Amino acid sequence: MCGRFAQVIEDKEIRALKRELDAEIGNIQTEISFNVAPTNTVMAIVSQKGRRYDGYFRWGLVPSWMKEIPKSPMINVRAETIAEKPSFKASFRRRRGILPINGFFEWRAPEKTPFYIHPAEGELLYVAVIYDVWEDDQGSYLPSLGLITTEANSQMKEIHHRMPALLMPEDFGLWLDEKNEDPQLILPLLKPAKGGLLSMHEVSREVNKVANNHASLLLPI
């Protein structure tokens, strides 16, 4: 499960995206958030006809075939069932993206202590996502995405049994190739993060409240 994350895409992060993903990023400053919550708008990198660029999506997948927006947003998608479940399999084959984040929050049971998990080195983590575009009868449309989760690695298991599926630079080309619809080639990318990729520390319980959104939420206590 991943229920909150930080997405602060400023000049340094934009340079990293252009360099590491070879993506076209708009010059307009994206909306930054230190405490992204479900249904918020986030930026993800997608690919169409070989062109990689930034798109903006509601966090909480709404498949295009649904008659209405579900009351409970589908924020996370399990890697183990993504290729079979009707809600996800079409997007998994044809509409994959990469969500750049600074880090994510997870809560350790039973005391629900919040932790911030972030790159041990570098500026960003790259989360595998799927997306779709839902349209109502009046012609209004809603792009949305869901984060893919997988089994936690040994480090994350100290806090939670699930974690986001994080992509490495060598995975970007295959994952973003919209012509590749073979689950046997794509599924192996959705694995627990390798050791040494992440660092983590306990943070303030202020992060529990969605209205709190400031840089100090990421600091260790």
Predicted confidence (pLDDT) per residue in 145-200, tens digit: 999 999 999 999 999 999 999 999 999 999 999 899 999 999 999 999 999 999 99
- Catalytic-role residue among 2, 20, 135, 178: 2
Mean per-residue pLDDT for 111-120?
96
- Per-residue confidence (pLDDT) for residue 140, from 0 to 100: 82
Predicted confidence (pLDDT) per residue in 1-37, tens digit: 689 999 999 888 888 889 999 999 876 666 789 999 9
- Per-residue confidence (pLDDT) for residue 30, from 0 to 100: 67
| Domains and their CATH numbers in the chain | 4-101+123-191 (3.90.1680.10)
- Catalytic-role residue among 20, 106, 202, 206: 106
CB 87 within 8 A of CB 74: yes
- Per-residue confidence (pLDDT) for residue 68, from 0 to 100: 82
Asked if 106 is an active-site residue, the reply is yes
- Quote the mean pLDDT of the chain: 92
- Per-residue confidence (pLDDT) for residue 8, from 0 to 100: 94
Question: Is pLDDT above 90 for 128?
Answer: yes
Asked if 2 is an active-site residue, the reply is yes
d(CA 3, CA 152): 15
Q: CA-CA distances (angstroms) from residue 92 to 7, 19, 120, 127?
A: 23, 25, 29, 14
Question: Is pLDDT above 70 for 108?
Answer: yes
Report CA torsion sign: 117, 146, 72, 216: positive
d(CA 57, CA 85): 21
Question: Is pLDDT above 90 for 137?
Answer: no
- Per-residue confidence (pLDDT) for residue 105, from 0 to 100: 98
